[in-house]
Amino acid sequence: MRGTSLAAVADADLVERAANGDVAAFESLVATRLNRVHRTASAMLGNPADAHDVVQDVFVAAWRRLPTLRDHRRFDAWLNTAIVNRSRDVLRRRRRSRQLSLDATVEPWTDGDTTQVDDRSALAAAFESLSAEQRHILVMHHLHRVAVVELAAELAIPEGTLKWRLHAARAALHRALERER
């Protein structure tokens, strides 16, 4: 396997063992990815309870569907797709139902300057208007600091395509932020 790191080979071995029913191998895969998956879902959804549910659903589905994964080296890309898809489901459900934010009803503690609170609120609203895919790319690149080359490989898309999608996501966020202000 030329060009493949030892960590990737070890991960592929863990994935293969887990796909064959090795619970300890699956627990090891979960342990090394749990924090990142949770931070990704939290950033995409902006709601800790929804993020917790998505993480749980993603790992349960991963355990059940792991035997169907053909290329064990693509586990992270497969897992990322599951996170995006499950988050998209939650976002769709949110749009169909009316939600009341308690944050909006509680006056924040300020010393008279609400600019930072307003900016944070505008950013949150703008981010919420993005698609699940746009949120995911921005979260992975900016929050998790995954390099373009690594993220493109993880998503199994050409580097140029990732750069274009990242640019489009930033532009969409900028437009949404302008609308919010």
Q: Which residue has the higher pLDDT, 35 or 117?
A: 35
Domain check: are 178 and 134 in the same one?
Answer: yes
Task: With respect to residue 154, please indicate whether it lies within any of the assigned structural domains.
Answer: yes
Q: Are 123 and 46 part of one and the same domain?
A: no
Q: Is the domain of 39 the same as that of 118?
A: no
- Please tell me the least confidently modeled range out of 34-48, 81-95, 102-116, 161-175: 102-116
Q: How many domains does the chain have?
A: 2
- CATH number of the domain within which 88 lies: 1.10.1740.10
> Do 137 and 86 share a structural domain?
no
Quote helix, strand, coil % in the chain, to nearest 5: 80, 0, 20
Distances (CA, A) of 114 to 32, 38, 84, 107, 138: 39, 30, 33, 10, 26
Domain with 161 in it? 113-181
81-113 pLDDT per residue, tens = 999 999 989 988 877 654 434 344 334 434 444
Exposed e or buried b for every residue in 136-145, given b needs 16+ CB within 10 A? Answer: bbbbbbeeee
Phi, psi of 129 (to 5 degrees): -80, -10
Pair (122, 173) in one structural domain: yes
The CATH number of the domain where 126 resides is what?
Answer: 1.10.10.10
| Residue 74 and residue 141 in one domain | no
Kindly state whether residues 14 and 84 are assigned to the same domain: yes
Return the pLDDT at 107: 41
Which pLDDT tens digit goes with each residue over 109-148? 344 444 554 677 888 888 888 888 898 899 889 888 889 9
Whether residue 94 sits in one domain with residue 33: yes
2 — pLDDT class (breaks 50, 70, 90): very low
